[in-house]
Amino acid sequence: MKTYFLHLFLVVMVVAILESPLKIMQHDGNLGWAIFLSSIFGLAYYFLFIPIIKFAADLMFIQAVRGEKIEVETILIGFKNYLNIILANLLTVAIIGLGFVAILIPGIIFACRLVFVSYLVMDKHLDPISAVEESWRMTRGHGWRIFWMGIVSFFIVIAGLIMLFVGVIPAAMWINASFASLYQAVLNETEGIPEPEPAQ
């Protein structure tokens, strides 16, 4: 179990998600069916569609940070790597969720250490287990920086909401670009690539 913990944990989570609508359906009457159908739609949308778009968006921010040409159709590129994205997202959400349920602090630590999973799946084409392990390795020594970036991001979103919701869009752009920049900086550090010198 210790050797294959992440593999077995992912299997258990997949089975639990697939079984949960069937347990809801055991309710008596039409209400059970209504809850069942809405649960199926909600789970499908949250776990089978949203991650595809979010992971692709992360890739586009990495491309922007690198100064590469961005194609609009990249937003749909996640469908080519569908299974890895779905399983990586499920594994990350489950690990962070259990951390928050157990005691708040582990959830925060897990969220900080797994922040690069989506980038690694899209940029390095890693499978879910490898992406989780590599994100954990890459973020070693950067946990506090990621934590404070998360805190600052929260207040930036609040500021955007105060500005009649209009500021939420540039706030989201800034936050995503910042985390993509951090990923690239840590990746350069990991691969021994020197940081580019600022323009004169």
pLDDT in tens, 15-54: 777 666 655 555 545 566 667 677 778 778 888 899 999 9
- How far is residue 40 from each of residues 28, 35, 150, measured CA to CA in Å? 17, 9, 31
pLDDT in tens, 86-141: 999 999 999 999 898 877 889 999 999 999 999 999 999 999 999 999 999 999 99
C-beta separation of 45 from 18 below 8 A: no
C-beta separation of 32 from 25 below 8 A: yes
For the chain, the structural domain boundaries read 5-142
Instruction: Considering only residues 198 and 133, tell me which one the structure prediction assigns the higher pLDDT.
Output: 133
For the cut 90, the answer to whether the pLDDT of residue 66 exceeds it is: yes
What confidence tier does 8 reach under pLDDT thresholds 50, 70, 90?
confident
Q: What is the 3-state secondary structure (H, E, C) of the chain?
A: CCCCHHHHHHHHHHHHHHHHHHHHCCCCHHHHHHHHHHHHHHHHHHHHHHHHHHHHHHHHHHHHHHCCCCCHHHHHHHHHHHHHHHHHHHHHHHHHHHHHHHCHHHHHHHHHHCCCHHHHHHHCCCCHHHHHHHHHHHCCCCHHHHHHHHHHHHHHHHHHHHCCCCCHHHHHHHHHHHHHHHHHHHHHHHHCCCCCCCCC
Q: Tokens 């404070």 correspond to what residue?
A: 148
pLDDT in tens, 182-196: 999 999 998 876 665
What confidence tier does 199 reach under pLDDT thresholds 50, 70, 90?
very low
